């Protein structure tokens, strides 16, 4: 399968996201009238019980230590939009420096992770998973810290859900999102 990485990045830079159909796994571009954003300011929050986990330093953090395992972990659910073809897209984006896995580890065991695409000062979260309780939650907290340190403007979670709401996720209209995205794209930021 030939993957046109630059065309894919151009679509993400316009606010589209790629998903596989539940029916036949065909890849298609989607957009939404509203977007869920994870705040990168004081509005970001998490449960007090998670602070205890963070204080215990149970997990170490890594970026791209095992990108493929994070993709597989994100796809390993009963209903998934991450088809084999979409995995190949993520691998191509990773190999060309656009896609990242932000991971938590417990010793040599992958505890959880977040899969995303970084363009300028925008981090577009594609999916997250955990194998050890709190693994993905700690990844979320540590990723937000990293994005703040690196001067990212946008953490786009695409679609809201109750799990993201616990971290202070909020929804903006597409009319609000597009200028914010364009502003973020002008920044020169790096996950590393």
Q: Which domains does the chain have, with CATH numbers?
A: 5-185 (3.40.630.70)
Over residues 16-74, the pLDDT tens digits come to: 999 887 767 789 899 999 999 999 999 999 988 999 999 999 999 999 999 999 999 99
Average pLDDT in the 75-80 region?
A: 84
In the structure, what pLDDT confidence band is assigned to residue 96 with cuts at 50, 70 and 90?
very high
Over residues 4-13, the pLDDT tens digits come to: 999 999 999 9
**Inter-axis angle of helices 84-95 and 5-13, to 10 degrees?**
90
* C-alpha distance from residue 122 to each of 37, 50, 59, 93, 160 (Å): 11, 26, 26, 15, 17
CA distance 55 to 48: 11
Is there a contact between 164 and 38 (Cβ–Cβ < 8 Å)?
A: yes
Average pLDDT in the 97-102 region?
A: 98
Residue 131 has pLDDT above 80, yes or no: yes
Over residues 138-179, the pLDDT tens digits come to: 999 999 999 999 999 999 998 888 889 999 999 999 999 999
137 closest CA partner among 66, 28, 52 = 52
pLDDT computed for residue 29 by the predictor: 93
pLDDT computed for residue 1 by the predictor: 66
């Amino acid at each position: 399968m030939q993957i046109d990485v630059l065309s894919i990045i151009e679509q993400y830079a316009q606010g589209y996201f790629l998903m596989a159909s539940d029916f036949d796994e065909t890849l298609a571009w989607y957009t939404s009238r509203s977007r869920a954003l994870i705040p990168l300011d004081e509005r970001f929050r998490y449960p007090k019980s998670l602070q205890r986990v963070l204080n215990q330093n149970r997990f170490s953090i890594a970026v791209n230590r095992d990108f493929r395992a994070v993709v597989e972990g994100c796809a390993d659910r009963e209903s998934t939009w991450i088809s084999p073809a979409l995995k190949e897209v993520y691998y191509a984006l990773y190999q060309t420096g656009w896609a990242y896995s932000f991971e938590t580890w417990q010793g040599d065991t992958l505890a959880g992770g977040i899969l995303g695409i970084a363009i300028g000062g925008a981090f577009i979260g594609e999916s997250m998973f955990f194998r050890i309780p709190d693994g993905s939650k700690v990844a979320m907290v540590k990723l937000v810290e990293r994005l703040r340190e690196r001067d990212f403007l946008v953490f786009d979670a695409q679609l809201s859900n109750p799990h993201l709401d616990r971290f202070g996720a909020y929804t903006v209209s597409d009319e609000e999102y597009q200028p914010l995205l364009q502003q973020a794209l002008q920044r020169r930021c790096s996950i590393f």
